[in-house]
Amino acid sequence: MATQTENQKNQTSKTWEDTANQAKDKAKSVVENVTDKAKSVASDVADRAKSAAGYVSDKADQGVGYAGQGVESLGHTVRDRGPQGGVLGQANQAVANTLEQTGAYLQDKGVSGMASDLTSMIKNNPIPSMLIGVGIGFLLARLTSNSRS
């Protein structure tokens, strides 16, 4: 009788142990599934963010290109409608050339090209760039601060 009771206790203990192991395995499986889904969602969000950033960048470049076309067109208009001879004609030609070159630059470079050019200019001329930054900061501070009479 004692052996039978002991066997029942062992079977009950083994059943509980098996149930606990199954629950542990199931919980581990659920955690792995949730982790995989979270990684998938995070990856999808990252991909969509990259796509949105690319779209915004493309639209910004497109807008700068349109602005460049407008500036270049203005240069042509200034050249065609302005004075052609004398000192005023020379000034007119200089302004028209500058507008046309600026328009072509905007169309060719776009936002990323302008940022790259600005970065290289700052790297090549750090002290003047810093002084310009300080000057701009000073002017912005003066413009945004309350005037005291």
User: Is 119 within a domain?
Assistant: no
Which residue positions in the chain have pLDDT lower than 70? 1-10, 147-149
Looking at residue 15, its pLDDT comes to 78
User: Is 100 within a domain?
Assistant: yes
Q: Report the domain count for the chain.
A: 1
Looking at residue 10, its pLDDT comes to 67
96-102's contacts with Cβ under 8 Å and 24+ in sequence apart are: 99/71, 99/72, 99/74, 99/75, 100/72, 100/75, 100/76, 101/75, 102/68, 102/71, 102/72, 102/75
Looking at residue 35, its pLDDT comes to 86
User: Is 123 within a domain?
Assistant: no
User: Is 136 within a domain?
Assistant: no
User: Is 18 within a domain?
Assistant: yes
Looking at residue 4, its pLDDT comes to 64
- Domain range for 88: 2-112
User: Is 139 within a domain?
Assistant: no
User: Is 11 within a domain?
Assistant: yes
What is the model's pTM?
0.56
Looking at residue 149, its pLDDT comes to 47
Looking at residue 8, its pLDDT comes to 67
User: Is 92 within a domain?
Assistant: yes
